[in-house]
Amino acid sequence: MERIDVQLGQRSYPIFIGSGLLSCGDSLINTSLPRRVLLISNDVVAPLYLDAATALLQRCGCQVDHCVLPDGEQHKTLDTLNLIYTKALQLSLGRDCAFVALGGGVIGDMVGYAAASYQRGVAFIQIPTTLLAQVDSSVGGKTAVNHPLGKNMIGAFHQPSLVLMDIDTLNTLPAREFSAGMAEVIKYGILWDADFFCWLERHRGALLAHDGDAISCAIQRCCQIKAEVVAEDETERGVRALLNLGHTFGHAIEAEQGYGSWLHGEAVATGMVLAAKLAQQLQWLDGAQVARIESLLACFGLPLNPPPEMGLTQFLPHMQRDKKAQNGQIRLILPTAIGHSKVVSDVSTDQLAQLFV
């Protein structure tokens, strides 16, 4: 078991990463929980892990109630969020309760936002069960739901009390979901850590074979980077924006295609390729670096090209509504080399158009 701490003063919290933590992790979380707990999952994860998570929380002395939501990005809405509020109110839960998110990024984001807004804020714990959630969305306190006009446009920053990652839950993860999670893993290498990118290239075979040691090492490095960045810039006023590499393009694909048609990681993978090609156009990356990025993404079966029916006309309205936009200007995260990136706000429409020629 590995522990990584997100350093945020009095709101600091630990991330625990290991095998079998749903069975034996009560000693790690029993000081973090109030007596009343609402355990929230979805109808795919709940049959697999709800009983184990419930038993874990009960061993910590908690009274546990359940809320099971429909699965899928298309359900990451205000209507679904209201099911959590309704359940909490029916149970007469007060400010001294905690919400526990058991599932992937959709569940984690929704439960976090519900916790941020229920009675103006209650505690919550993340138990992520997908690779994407373990390496990215469960850490850092970004919570949200989608709107038909934009992804994650309604939300709040609300840090968890603790993140418990049982890597054994990845054994039941569908292959497509695992590949989507690898897009976020690769993202950290492109934008922050060239050595990690090289490590991923060398260990791609082990990762494809779902080798537990390789996966654990990858998760740990991603969480170390995320914890470091969040500690420096919790509310994304500066360096944390870099973690959105590929997301401005990717969110446009998700919104335009309909949430759930493309998985988030798939859209981010294509977004990172578009960002790399734009960086090449600006003479920051050479062709060999772009090829390495494409090769590593492709070996996990991730898409490299946007939907054929999506050109600049379809991308632009979504990109202009992106959360990073300022004063009407699109702001993009572009790699300046493998392992380095920066925020760019002076890319012209003509330069963007060249990506879709």
Q: Is pLDDT at 327 greater than 80 in this prediction?
A: no
CA 5 to chain centre: 18
Considering 158, 221, 264, 277, which one is annotated as catalytic?
264
Active site annotation includes 244: yes
pLDDT tens track for 80-120: 999 999 999 999 999 999 999 999 999 999 999 999 999 99
Listed in order, the ranges of the chain carrying CATH 3.40.50.1970 are 2-172
CA 189 to chain centre: 15
Considering 226, 277, 318, 323, which one is annotated as catalytic?
226
26 or 75, which is more confident:
75
Active site annotation includes 342: no
* Confidence bin at 337 (pLDDT 50/70/90): very high
Active site annotation includes 120: yes
pLDDT of residue 329: 85
Active site annotation includes 158: no
Listed in order, the ranges of the chain carrying CATH 1.20.1090.10 are 175-356
Task: Please name the residues in contact with 109: beta carbons below 8 A apart, sequence gap of 6 or more.
Answer: 76, 137, 142, 143, 144, 145, 152, 155
Nearest to 165 by CA among 62, 14, 305, 279: 14
* Confidence bin at 32 (pLDDT 50/70/90): low
pLDDT of residue 27: 82
pLDDT of residue 29: 82
Active site annotation includes 331: no
216 or 357, which is more confident:
216
Q: Would you say 191 and 225 are in contact if contact means Cβ atoms under 8 Å apart?
A: no
Q: What is the mean pLDDT of residues 149-169?
A: 95
Q: Is pLDDT at 223 greater than 70 in this prediction?
A: yes
* Confidence bin at 323 (pLDDT 50/70/90): confident
Task: Please name the residues in contact with 46: beta carbons below 8 A apart, sequence gap of 6 or more.
Answer: 66, 68, 102
Top-tier CATH class for 2-172: alpha beta
Nearest to 14 by CA among 227, 170, 243, 262: 227
Active site annotation includes 142: yes
Considering 73, 177, 184, 254, which one is annotated as catalytic?
184
Please tell me the pTM assigned to this model.
0.94
pLDDT tens track for 166-179: 999 999 999 999 99
| Burial class of 199 by CB neighbour count within 10 A (0 to 12, 13 to 18, 19+) | middle
pLDDT tens track for 133-146: 999 999 999 999 99
pLDDT of residue 114: 98
pLDDT tens track for 12-26: 999 999 999 999 888
- Alpha carbons 312 and 238: distance in angstroms, whole number: 27
Active site annotation includes 236: yes
Under CATH, which number does the domain 175-356 receive? 1.20.1090.10
Considering 240, 277, 318, 331, which one is annotated as catalytic?
240
Active site annotation includes 66: no
Considering 151, 187, 247, 318, which one is annotated as catalytic?
247
Could you tell me which residues are beta bridge partners of residue 63? Answer: 36
Q: What is the mean pLDDT of residues 176-202?
A: 98
pLDDT of residue 306: 97
* Confidence bin at 158 (pLDDT 50/70/90): very high
Within a 10 A sphere around the Cβ of 35, how many other Cβ atoms? 11
Considering 87, 187, 221, 251, which one is annotated as catalytic?
251
pLDDT of residue 31: 66
Active site annotation includes 221: no
- Alpha carbons 84 and 99: distance in angstroms, whole number: 9
Q: What rounded mean pLDDT belongs to the chain?
A: 95
Q: Is pLDDT at 226 greater than 80 in this prediction?
A: yes
Considering 177, 236, 266, 294, which one is annotated as catalytic?
236
Considering 75, 142, 318, 331, which one is annotated as catalytic?
142
Q: Which helix (H) or strand (E) is 124 found in, with range? A: strand 123-128
Q: What is the mean pLDDT of residues 266-280?
A: 98
Q: What is the mean pLDDT of residues 41-68?
A: 96
Considering 42, 146, 152, 244, which one is annotated as catalytic?
244
Active site annotation includes 254: no
